[in-house]
Structure 1
């Protein structure tokens, strides 16, 4: 006998995680979906105490699952100095000034500043605001650190500091550090920044969860667990939240493989990861994924390319891998054999090819195994894009990045930009798709990402004008429309695709499934594609409980 529903949603259109169905209503009891069908059939389960939610013709869909987020870092940043809302240099500096006045700690920290607004920020700009306390601010991409003179002094970084491998300390015409540090160079200062306390990280996690609920996100994958770039391990925050019940969202995480790992160090790392996986699983936290950054980012010329950057046509510089190729093959094969899924950050086409070769070698050695996934996909050669399906590698898509970027075009050229984010080629080749935001690197709004994946152009926020292009750079005229996904493909990737990949559950609206649901403000299938950006989340439901209402 079907129980009386605790919650019924009526007058909607159900997208079940795969297709838009003819159903209009969903009933929930004890945290599970107990009926999907017409309004009339679902209302049969309503009792005196049943809550009825009116969808007003909008789509009812599985809750979004973010397959690549740094939720704890994002929440901590939101509670410190969050620069992501700044639309000008003056606004950025004012937010820093206000944040420095607000905080009582020795270090002034935060992040989210824009490279488009501040291509090469300097320590002098920060010195003018905070001359006597150290300041360290991550860029929006979190691959670059902007610091003041006091921070450089405390870290011992000066004109005599050697350039680190896979990083760059930018210097002025006198040879002194400018306060702009890329990749591993950021760690020179990051290692002396006091890490967030366990209480601060737990507060950040709860702040992030509440914000993600407002976007219809009911679960996510924490993409780095471990000490990273001066940041503390986020694992204790999750274990505490799960134990005390303050994190009802479905979550998983990836154990961090540090750059520079050598072949000889791989066995000990795998042994340590196995122990961490068992300990965390006993506490209800799935950490059966290992995360590695195979290369860096094109903005900082640290992505590993097959051909030189356009800006280095004279010296042939094409970026570098963060590991020796032998080490990549070794840790991919050994982690695959131990049952770990690989979550690989890769931005350059050389990095993609090296990683796919390593996964192919692991499959030959170990047979079929965990679902590995590659995130970002900013440059992929066509032949390599077609290998994803053959090798069973999931495309972990950050959709917002798939719009043409004039700054990247100036560094890699139009041909390589056109080969980027080849979602259609991957899907047509049989690759499974998942989606995530990389928040706080980019906004966490799934509907905004879906808009870009379907339309291949990014709308600007209201009142925000596009920043001026660098001298000599023309707006990109790339026709990437052939790589667009359909709305159905994109919505499936951000719901059932991500859920099955990082949570190990179907992420579907069907009887018996956990009731992680969202109701949109409209039916996107009834809108022109260009209007997808207008869709928001009206209601979010986690485990059968309404946790957000717009």
Structure 2
């Protein structure tokens, strides 16, 4: 039986070593984790239970255990490198977790009925923000008029994949949408509207982000790559000025702010303060599967008007120019490509420019392109949970996909570097679910990978002397890990740069 972390030795109350969620950071003190077990391949080679001493943000010593008595008593639990989510929209995730949840299988009429019920029960005139619908199975796009009939104040509903939004007239005005609109926005129009609405809700965001960060720590996350569509660097710098960050944050930039990034002399990897650094340039090249805007070699059977193969958001030449400019200025590119034709064109752009970076999502990739990642040094940044979200639609929308859908096994076999993320809020911010999906997938199970390979795609360090003390203590045995049993409801402890950010009660 594994014990609970947070059993305190040496007279230190547990809250004295937890990071503060407001005000100044806690003064760093050494932390001793006793009776932990390490996972071969992810730690230095020490047999049996060990004691791990953490000092100055790094692992200072690993020795055979002297028994109970540490600040955190692992009682035989696994001590692993802390987990990373390499693709989030963190502010949106934080806010949306507190808004109206929409069923991904609901029809437009059902959603209207749900929103009407919500408005009646709330008995107010506050804007309604909803999240979670999926329009891939809808035969006719919805209209603003349907939501106008519910209420005159803003109603904004965001799709689960965030590539479309359904707004009433008041919300269209609040989002700054000019000119006539049906109320159903896709791609750039949807992104702009969502960003404008988020900006109008900025006062609520920072508290929501702090709560979301605490939830992330309870899942063992120590770092995120934030792909928020606004100026994420400024938002995180503002938060860090008022409260200590509890996650490593790599803040991405979008093309509308690339000039600003370059003018400020910032390059990918530059530190912006404790735990905060400059991330990549995020480029959204094509759309999504469920919105039927992902750019594919095969036509859709029931496409959107004038989008038989989906769409790209700009030409291949414009993509190359944008990536080349970023590369010249020391900024890596994280390029969204979901359809197989989009993946091919993005890899062409990496090859033509010599840029460094990643293909984000890499959801549908042909075998001829799978083998191109490794020679180009391009990372495949994949969100395995989209396989679960999409599997009820994929055989209808992409009947030709086969094993080219999330080809994780083929990618690893070809030497591709994999990185996992959630794309939260498009999927839950839960690295264990991502790992479980990649290992135990049933949809084209020939593309499943091993537990060790999935963990490697979710971590950036090892449990070894001199390594960063980004650690997670998990109520799991080595046998359970090897068997692919990842039913982790809450981790026992999470440390970021040596400071505990979560201790199970």
Distance 1:401 1:198 in 2: 28
1:221-265 Cα shifts (integer Å, max 9, x gaps)? 111353xxxxxx33333102223342132111111025xxxxxxx
How has the CA–CA distance of structure 1 residues 358 and 155 changed in structure 2, closer, same or farther, with 3 Å as cutoff?
closer
> Contact 2:58–2:497 at 8 Å: present in 1 too?
yes
Aligned ranges 1:11-50 → 2 under 5 Å = 11-14=36-39, 17=42, 22=47, 24-25=49-50, 26-40=52-66, 50=70
Distance 2:431 2:324 in 1: 33
Distance 2:304 2:122 in 1: 47
> Contact 1:72–1:205 at 8 Å: present in 2 too?
yes
Is 1:67 matched up with 2:86? yes
Distance 1:301 1:456 in 2: 24
Aligned to 1:342: 333
What count of residue pairs does the alignment treat as equivalent? 469
1:184 corresponds to which of 165, 184, 188: 188
1:420-462 Cα shifts (integer Å, max 9, x gaps)? 11112111111111111111110111111111101114xxxxx
Aligned to 2:23: none
Distance 2:211 2:202 in 1: 14
1:7 corresponds to which of 18, 32, 35: 32
1:411 corresponds to which of 384, 397, 400: 397
Aligned to 1:212: 216
> Contact 2:272–2:278 at 8 Å: present in 1 too?
no
Aligned ranges 1:1-400 → 2 under 5 Å = 5-14=30-39, 17=42, 22=47, 24-25=49-50, 26-40=52-66, 50-54=70-74, 56-79=75-98, 81-83=99-101, 97-98=117-118, 107-115=127-135, 123=144, 126-127=147-148, 130-152=150-172, 161=180, 177=182, 179-186=183-190, 190=194, 193=197, 195-226=199-230, 233-258=231-256, 271-276=259-264, 278=266, 281-283=271-273, 285-312=276-303, 317-363=308-354, 370=356, 372-400=357-385
How has the CA–CA distance of structure 1 residues 38 and 242 changed in structure 2, closer, same or farther, with 3 Å as cutoff?
same
**TM-score w.r.t. length of structure 1:** 0.75
Task: Give the match's secondary structure for 2:71.
Answer: strand
1:189-222 Cα shifts (integer Å, max 9, x gaps)? 5576472354323223212211111111111111
Task: Give the match's secondary structure for 2:245.
Answer: coil
Aligned to 1:520: 474
Task: Give the match's secondary structure for 1:221.
Answer: strand
How has the CA–CA distance of structure 1 residues 314 and 418 changed in structure 2, closer, same or farther, with 3 Å as cutoff?
farther
Residue 182 of structure 1: how far off its partner (Å): 2.3
Aligned ranges 1:421-436 → 2 under 5 Å = 421-436=406-421
Distance 2:169 2:222 in 1: 42
Select between 317-326 and 279-288 the one with higher mean Cα deviation. Answer: 279-288
Aligned to 1:484: 448
How has the CA–CA distance of structure 1 residues 19 and 87 changed in structure 2, closer, same or farther, with 3 Å as cutoff?
farther
How has the CA–CA distance of structure 1 residues 385 and 19 changed in structure 2, closer, same or farther, with 3 Å as cutoff?
farther
Distance 2:43 2:262 in 1: 34
How has the CA–CA distance of structure 1 residues 521 and 313 changed in structure 2, closer, same or farther, with 3 Å as cutoff?
same
Task: Give the match's secondary structure for 1:224.
Answer: coil
**TM-score w.r.t. length of structure 2:** 0.81
1:450 corresponds to which of 435, 439, 448: 435
How has the CA–CA distance of structure 1 residues 534 and 204 changed in structure 2, closer, same or farther, with 3 Å as cutoff?
closer
How has the CA–CA distance of structure 1 residues 136 and 197 changed in structure 2, closer, same or farther, with 3 Å as cutoff?
closer
Distance 2:43 2:287 in 1: 34
Give RMSD over aligned pairs. 3.6
Task: Give the match's secondary structure for 1:205.
Answer: helix
Distance 2:465 2:162 in 1: 41
> Contact 1:379–1:420 at 8 Å: present in 2 too?
yes
How has the CA–CA distance of structure 1 residues 544 and 91 changed in structure 2, closer, same or farther, with 3 Å as cutoff?
farther
Residue 154 of structure 1: how far off its partner (Å): 6.7
Distance 2:350 2:322 in 1: 10
How has the CA–CA distance of structure 1 residues 274 and 34 changed in structure 2, closer, same or farther, with 3 Å as cutoff?
same
How has the CA–CA distance of structure 1 residues 154 and 38 changed in structure 2, closer, same or farther, with 3 Å as cutoff?
closer
1:368-389 Cα shifts (integer Å, max 9, x gaps)? x64x111111110001011101
Task: Give the match's secondary structure for 1:299.
Answer: coil
> Contact 2:293–2:307 at 8 Å: present in 1 too?
no
Residue 109 of structure 1: how far off its partner (Å): 2.4
Of structures 1 and 2, the one scoring higher in RCO (CA 8 A, sep 6+) is 2
> Contact 2:131–2:157 at 8 Å: present in 1 too?
yes
How has the CA–CA distance of structure 1 residues 545 and 157 changed in structure 2, closer, same or farther, with 3 Å as cutoff?
closer
